Amino acid sequence: MEWSNGYVHGIDYPVSFFAEQSPVHLSVGCVILGVEPVPLDRPFTYMELGCGQGLTSAVLAAANPQGRFYAVDFLPTHVQTAREMVDAASLDNLTVLECSFEQMAGGEVDLPQFDFVTMYGVYSWVDATNRQYIAEFLRRYLKPGGIAYLNYNAMPGWSSALSLQRLLREFGRDSTQSCERQVAQGCALVGALRDQNAAAFARAASDGLGLRLEMLGGKHVDYLAHEYLNQGWDALYSIDVIQAMAAVKLDYVGSALLENSFAELYLTQGQRDLLAGLPNSAMRELAWDHLRNSSFREDIYVRGARMMSPARRDAWLERCGVALTLPRSRINLELTLVIGKINADARLADPMIEALLERPHSLVELAALPEIRSRGYGLREVASMASLLMAGRQASIFFLSAAGNDQAPAARLNRVIAARSRECDHFQALASPLLGNGVKSSLLQRVAYDQAGHAVLQPEGWVQAMAQAVQRQGAKVERAGVALEAPHEIDAELRYLAEAIAEQRMPVWRNLNMAPQSATP
């Protein structure tokens, strides 16, 4: 078989940032789940397997200067792009490697033991042999007590779309055609089958297949190629993955999606009783997947998980703080989560948000607010609400020790990312040294960030750069979801957006220790 082992090459995977891979997110997740985390107030080591073009690792390395980061990918174009970003931002705590999982598992690369190993869009997209190499790498390199993050396409949610995936994958076998051509041919065949009333697609509207058929027309070809053309692709049952990880001494801890911890919000009492009566966590997860019809899982594993006492867990919560990641105008207590839409308890959420609009607070400070204490809420309830706001991308939990972290690496990387926004919209996140994580940021926000970093302090001075970025990239300026065409309307909307960024987004960035800074004193 060719060097790629059936994995798509010749077309780059879309640049993406995934906050769930953050060491902070994973350690906080362990605390919420009652498992001893990895402390982040001291040096730690981190590896991302299959880093793509390196955005996630670069942002996390910049936001966590106390960590030593490694990232690996076997596609040379990915590695080149990632290394260029590392060099441009002078991130001396991130090493980007080009090698295969087989080389990594076999110890051919000089590596340390790791506190964290993460991967996104890898495990069920490579073949079974490479999944074995990943497991061997974890056995060999993840420290006792270390945390692994693993996601994959899951069953039974993918069952209705397996035939669709097989149709498209068949076109990926023709290496004489470009990936773009393979995707186009596959989508054309699916369209023709639908036009001819193919019975296999007849019930698409009632299951997960319908969504995936719609996505064929709306997703970029680079995403579709990497999702559907890989020859080793498989949708996996969680019990098989849990057992594979157990074979290399990794314990399943829980979901990296914090909202999944609140079963009372989305499962009936009967469903919860059913799960509680099952003999072990692997069986419970398999049953949970059937209750939820899971099609994608994001899971936390620990090499030797140690459950914490309630007092120990509270001690860890006392070391955590919360910060808003959105301005006041975007805060909404109707949270759209993976588990569905929920309404957050306003009696608890409102006073928390009012305090957080001024500045980040520790969980202890929030629990001590008179409006919260008088209603009988305590540290654990505040932590639960913070977890839900975090799941809704409106806030983020961080470790208080991060307040003293060096802000210079994040500032350097953010300047590089913001400058690149003049020409492309690929790198859609900025680093926050307070959160130890990244914050998703739109094209116009990053252009404004770039301008402010060049001492253009008034928002009216940002408009021309915004207009140029939009024009160069063929983007649309929209108002209320409608694309604007008239030049005077576009100019007016850009001026409005520039003012909004200055008044609403800049204070959030300041609270997160990531306000634009000039490269020179």
**pLDDT tens-digit readout, 310-339:** 999 999 999 999 999 999 999 999 999 999
In single-letter form, the type of residue at position 6 comes to: G
The C-alpha atoms of residue 190 and residue 202 are separated, in whole angstroms, by 13
Give the pLDDT band of residue 217 (cuts 50, 70, 90): low
CA angle 4, 256, 169 (to 5 degrees): 30
Residue 518: predicted pLDDT: 63
Who's near 346: CB < 8 A, 6+ residues apart?
A: 333
Residue 4: predicted pLDDT: 45
The whole model's pTM is what? Answer: 0.91
Give 395-412 pLDDT, tens digit per residue. Answer: 999 999 999 999 999 999
Element (H, E) at 129: helix 128-141
Residue 491: predicted pLDDT: 95
Among 128, 125, 298, smallest CA distance to 224 is for 125
Has residue 375 got a pLDDT over 70?
yes
Minimum mean pLDDT among 197-211, 215-229, 271-285: which range?
215-229
The C-alpha atoms of residue 226 and residue 221 are separated, in whole angstroms, by 9
